[in-house]
Structure 1
Amino acid sequence: MDSGDGADTEVGPMADAEFLWEPVPGCWSVRRRVDGPGPRATFLAGRGEWGRDAAPYPHPWPPPFTTIAWRLSHLSEMLTLRADHTAGGHVLTRDDYLDHGEVAGAIAAFDAGAAAWRKALLGIDDDSVLDTVGYCAYPHGSDAEEPFVDVVWWVNQELLHHGAEIALIRDLYRARQR
């Protein structure tokens, strides 16, 4: 991949061990339901054999450190649900999201969520929608009170900051192996 300075940087495929790596005690992650939630989490969000550590508002303070698996699940769920509540059936909830305990399924879910969000954005009429308050009826945010342009900004901000965190965790995982 391009390192930002025009030079190529070798980045190998991610293995499940890296995906689920907990670099510090008390991490939130994606876990098998039979194992229950991790430290300070009160439930596992989503459906299926795996779920993402979660807690109702107010969330634990300070926030727990989260694994690549947790961050990727969070992003994938957000993209999938926001796409549905922007241009889909407006019915999906966190309970509908299928979490994955292996990296291949998680990346496929992220790709599908990103494609759905992109399709939703490409399908809107910029002139009439961007300033519309409540255009995206996503049930887990302030979307009902925000102009749609602010929702789009928030999704971009989430992708940028969690994507950067994933890249940093990958760097730490590689450095740990040395």
Structure 2
Amino acid sequence: MSTPHRLVPLLEQFDFAYERLVGRLAGPHMDSGNGTLVDVTPMTDEEYLWEPVPDCWSVRRRTDGPGPRATLLIGAGDWGRDTAAPPHPVPPPFTTIAWRLSHLSELLTLRADHTGGTRSLTRDDYRTSGDAAGAIAELTAGATAWRKALTGLDDTALDTVGYCTYPHGSDPENPFIDIVWWVNQELLHHGAEIALLRDLYRTTRTAATGAS
């Protein structure tokens, strides 16, 4: 089955954004955007959990409990992601690289499941990693699962309202092509946020040590 014409550019955009983000996190190189390779220092555990301002939301050991203004640690396993029942705090807490990666990877994993999997996974089933390498592996697994869920779709599926039953968004009310666009938007904007935090971390550490 050929890929519907209107899905092709969305798939290409997703692939480029994902590969660029993983390169930005894990190195050894990343595409600068024009095909030039830029050297990348892989993200460390310290950077992954870095809290650049007071009262950040992050991922934490379950035994430590939730962070400031959070009421629970969502997910399964020894680590969870700070959150609070609605209404969420206003203004929203600043979130760490760890929080943003966990959110993005969970979104990809659950949407993949609610598109072409069991359609049963919840946020309580998702396991968040407490280290950088594990988080990058989770991102890769989530992106791979989502990409697989898009393989073999036809125009009828793209136009079907509620084709994805992901329960934490507008998926049950929107045509699936709109959800594919939205997932790309999530990857692009969270990827940009994470890249900026990497730059801030590097700059602050360089200034603190006086290195050139």
TM range (shorter): over 0.9
1:31 aligns with 2:63: no
Instruction: Spell out, residue by residue over 1:49-85, the C-alpha distance to the aligned partner (whole angstroms, 9 max, x if none).
Output: 0000011222211111110100100011000000000
Percent identity over paired residues: 73
Aligned to 1:64: 93
Larger radius of gyration: 2
The one of 125, 137, 142 aligned to 1:96: 125
1:43 aligns with 2:72: yes
**Cα deviation, residue 29, structure 1:** 0.4
- CA distance in 1 between partners of 2:74 and 2:182 (Å): 21
Structure 2 letter corresponding to 1:143 = D
Aligned residues: 177
| Alpha carbons of structure 1 residues 50 and 121: separation in structure 2 relative to 1, 3 Å | same
Aligned to 2:203: 175
Structure 1 letter corresponding to 2:166 = Y
- CA distance in 2 between partners of 1:150 and 1:133 (Å): 9
1:129 aligns with 2:161: no
Structure 2 letter corresponding to 1:142 = S
**Cα deviation, residue 6, structure 1:** 4.8
**Cα deviation, residue 123, structure 1:** 3.0
Structure 2 letter corresponding to 1:132 = T
Task: Give the secondary-structure state (helix, strand or coil) at the position aligned to 1:124.
Answer: coil
- Compute the TM-score of the two structures, normalised by the length of structure 1: 0.96
**Cα deviation, residue 5, structure 1:** 4.7
Aligned to 2:147: 118
Structure 2 letter corresponding to 1:109 = E
Structure 2 letter corresponding to 1:100 = S
Aligned to 2:176: 148
**Cα deviation, residue 153, structure 1:** 1.1
1:10 aligns with 2:39: yes
C-alpha root-mean-square deviation of aligned residues, in Å? 1.1
Task: Give the secondary-structure state (helix, strand or coil) at the position aligned to 1:66.
Answer: coil
**Stretches of structure 1 lacking an aligned partner (at least 5 in a row):** none
Between Structure 1 and Structure 2, the one with more helix by share is 2
Task: Give the secondary-structure state (helix, strand or coil) at the position aligned to 2:127.
Answer: coil
**Stretches of structure 2 lacking an aligned partner (at least 5 in a row):** 1-29, 207-212
**Cα deviation, residue 8, structure 1:** 3.5
- CA distance in 1 between partners of 2:34 and 2:172 (Å): 41
| Alpha carbons of structure 1 residues 143 and 25: separation in structure 2 relative to 1, 3 Å | same
- Compute the TM-score of the two structures, normalised by the length of structure 2: 0.81
Structure 1 letter corresponding to 2:191 = G
Structure 1 moving runs of 4+ over 6 Å: none
- CA distance in 2 between partners of 1:11 and 1:64 (Å): 28
Task: Give the secondary-structure state (helix, strand or coil) at the position aligned to 1:51.
Answer: strand
The one of 100, 103, 109 aligned to 1:80: 109
